[in-house]
Amino acid sequence: MEAITKNFSIALLVLLISTFGTAEDCKRTAKCKCQTASGTVIDLNALSSGPNPRFTATDSKTKNIYYFSPCVPLVKQFCNITGDITMCQVVTGSQPIYWDAGDIGTDTFAGDPAANTLSVTFTGSKTVTTRHSKVNLICSGESRLDFLKEDPPVSGNYSFNLYTPVICPPSGSKSLSFGSILVIVFFVFFIVYWVGGFLFMKFVRRAEGLEVIPNYEFWKEIPLLIRDGIAFTARGCKGESTYEKI
């Protein structure tokens, strides 16, 4: 019986780690479009209509301007570069300089829209230094593009926040993501384990004090195992030296 309950404890611990470490990455299916394993579709083509450019952001430090036209090329009036440019950097001055900060069709998605961690990155090709524009997609009732930073400096790697209702889940949507289902399953197991284990230890085993905790010895060792794991990692995944063993 003790072996069974200990195995159940280990399974519960693994479920806890997997539940809160699970995310549904949105996989690219077409230009400006991605889909999660649960069927959620994000289509940025909905942002292609309207004015061109659709979004404008300014770097408050350098005063450089960024024009973003999702999924359709920018007009030359705002980005005087030949090609299908979706993100254009304009170095302001008496003679503006235009840089390709992202091309149509280079979009790569990462993150989970349900967790509001979805981003899309565009890559430019019309410059000596290849520029990358990472756009964090944030569910919002407004439509706005904010410039965040160039990291590291003078690297050509730019970050933005795009606030848009396009990536918000449909109103009235009641479908659960895979991660949400895992959370529900975890808490069901959690309640059954602790409540059932407590009742078993208290009224069947007649345990008292801390001994009523299911698999008390197992849980008591967890902090020590974590400490040993951290120490092992700090040593570069090497065992103790002969001197330490002595």
| pLDDT tens profile 10-47 | 555 555 555 444 567 899 999 999 999 888 899 999 99
How many Å apart are CA 111 and CA 219, to the nearest integer?
33
Per the listing, tokens 């030359």 go with: 76
211 lies in which domain range?
2-20+177-245
Same domain (yes/no): 101, 152: yes
Cα dist. 161→12, 56, 174 in Å?
37, 12, 27
Same domain (yes/no): 159, 232: no
CATH number for position 102: 2.70.130.10
Is the model's pTM score more than 0.75? no
The DSSP H or E segment spanning 68 is strand 65-68
Which of 167, 196, 223 is where one domain is finished? 167
Mapped onto helix, strand or coil, the DSSP state of residue 1 is: coil
Tell me if 172 is assigned to some domain.
no
Same domain (yes/no): 233, 186: yes
Give pLDDT tens digits for 198-243.
888 878 888 888 788 888 788 888 888 888 878 878 777 666 655 5
Same domain (yes/no): 163, 215: no
Tell me if 94 is assigned to some domain.
yes
CA angle 238, 241, 246 (to 5 degrees): 145
Give pLDDT tens digits for 74-122.
998 899 988 899 999 999 988 999 999 999 999 999 999 888 899 999 9
Domains held by the chain: number: 2
Max distance between CA atoms of the chain, in angstroms, equals 85
Mapped onto helix, strand or coil, the DSSP state of residue 173 is: coil
Question: Cβ contacts of residue 58 below 8 Å, gap of 6+?
Answer: 64, 65, 66, 147
The band of 169, judged by pLDDT with boundaries at 50, 70 and 90, is confident
Same domain (yes/no): 6, 31: no
